[in-house]
Amino acid sequence: MMRLSGPIVAALSAMTAAVFMLLYGPLLIPILSSFFTVAHGDVQWSDPSFSSYVALAANEGILEAFGNTLIVGFSATLLSLVCGTLLALHYCGGRSGAREAMQFAVFLPFLMPPIITGLSLLIFFRETGIARSLLTVIAGHTVFVQALAYRTIVVRLQSMGPSMIEASTDLGASAWQTLVHIILPNLRSTLIGAGVLSFALSFDETLITLLVTGTANTLPIRLWAMMRLGFAPDINALVAIILALTALLCVLAVRQFLPAETESGD
């Protein structure tokens, strides 16, 4: 973007490294504990073992909960991106009180304490006769995380400005063509980013999930309940596996979806 001098790059890199340490430091502890026993606050380096991984493989409850979390996360993310894009397109289509009201409504579940969103949805589902299940969890998560997807997309659409779209329509493109050929390609990195944020939020959602679920557990619900008795060692193994898998997925996603010399800062 800018031509930066050496010292500035060095300073920025140092700051980035510090932030990465803050982000990854806390993850080291469960990962270390997945291989080594931590007794009396000291790591027993001499005695590595895979026993927590073996225990995890046998823990059907946790694995099922993890599977449910993935199902809910992917579904809610997809729905949030679709709904968020459509809502953002409408919001950016003009200025009116109705649009502001719509935006306010979309933000609401995000602004409310989760127990309020969860309880109001539970009562709503009860009164409309919709049985609680993973589907209602997906609905609850979508309502919650779409605010974030929506907001991210609106910021990008607004910075895009109307000129590109006007040019497209002036050239006789239909609204649909404009969407597919102009808007969506320009939203690509935004959609990926918003998707990851949405997934992360859904992945960790506890209270809304608990209130609108039927008999299905998700990982956060299980972890939340475990706080009473403390975490079993296999949870550390799960954390390590999730980290390894997501890092791998990131590498693959970047290689697959982004060409080596990808769109730079324009």
Partner 1 sequence: MLFVGNARSGLWPRLLAGFAYGLPLLVIVAPLASFLAYSFFRMESGQIVRDFSLLNYKRFFTDAIFIPVLWQTCLLCLAVAALATLAGYPVAFLLANLKGRRRYFLLLMVLVPLLMSYIIKIYAIRSILGGNGFLNRFLLWSGLIDQPLTLFVFNLNAVLLTLTVLLIPFAILPIFLALERIPRSLIEASSDLGASNLQTFARIVLPLSLPGIVTAATFVFVLAIGDFLTPQMVGGQSGFTFGRIVYSQFGTAFNWPFGAALAAILALVVIAVIAAGNRVERGRT
Partner 2 sequence: MTLKLNRRTALGMALAAPAILRSSRAFAAKELRVMAWQGYADDDWVKEFADQTGAKANIVFIGTDDEIWAKIKGSEGKDFDVFAVNTAQLQRYIDGGLTTPHDLSKLPNQKEVLPRFRDLATVKGVMRDGKVHSIPFCFDSIGIIYDKDKVNPAPDSFEIFWDEKYKGKILAYDNGEHNFSFTALTMGIEDPFHLSDEQMGKIKEKLIALKHNVLSFYTTPDEALQLYKSNDVALIWANYGQQQVKAMKDAGANIEYVNPKEGALAWLDTWAMTNGVQDVDLAEAWVNFLLQKKIGQQLSERTGFGNTVVETGSAGANDKLVWLDFVEDPTKRSDLWNEIKAQP
The residues that touch partner 2, with contacts defined as CB under 8 A, are 40, 59-61, 115, 118-119, 122-123, 126, 129-133, 135-136, 176, 207, 210-211, 213-217, 221-222, 224-230
Rounded CA separation 213/62 (Å) = 16
> In the 3-class helix/strand/coil scheme, how is 18-48 assigned residue by residue?
HHHHHHHHHHHHHHHHHHCCEECCEECCCCC
Q: 32 near 52, Cβ under 8 Å?
A: no
Q: How many CB atoms lie within 10 A of CB 181?
A: 12
Residue 87 makes contact with partner 1 by CB under 8 A: yes
176 vs 256, beta carbon nearer partner 2: 176
Among 175, 181, 184, 214, binds partner 1 (CB under 8 A): 175
Closest distance of CB 49 from partner 1, Å: 20
Residue 260 makes contact with partner 1 by CB under 8 A: yes
Non-local (6+) Cβ contacts of 145 within 8 A are 76, 77, 80, 110, 197, 198, 201, 202, 205
Closest CA to 162 of 176, 148, 182, 177: 182
Among 59, 75, 77, 152, binds partner 1 (CB under 8 A): 152
63 vs 119, beta carbon nearer partner 1: 119
Amino acid at residue number 68: N
Residue 13 makes contact with partner 1 by CB under 8 A: yes
Among 54, 57, 155, 184, binds partner 1 (CB under 8 A): 155
Q: 90 near 100, Cβ under 8 Å?
A: no
Residue 229 makes contact with partner 1 by CB under 8 A: no
Q: 239 near 31, Cβ under 8 Å?
A: yes
Return the structure tokens found at 58. 């046998």
Return the structure tokens found at 84. 């968020």
Binding partner of residue 228 among partner 1, partner 2, none, CB under 5 to 8 Å per kind? partner 2
Q: Which of residues 90-109 bind partner 1 (CB under 8 A)?
A: 90-94, 98, 102, 104-109
51 vs 133, beta carbon nearer partner 2: 133
Closest distance of CB 180 from partner 2, Å: 10
Burial class (CB in 10 A: 0-12, 13-18, 19+), 229: exposed
154 vs 219, beta carbon nearer partner 2: 219
Binding partner of residue 204 among partner 2, partner 1, none, CB under 5 to 8 Å per kind? partner 1
Rounded CA separation 114/103 (Å) = 19
Binding partner of residue 44 among partner 1, partner 2, none, CB under 5 to 8 Å per kind? none
Binding partner of residue 63 among partner 1, partner 2, none, CB under 5 to 8 Å per kind? none
Closest distance of CB 84 from partner 2, Å: 17
5 vs 46, beta carbon nearer partner 1: 5
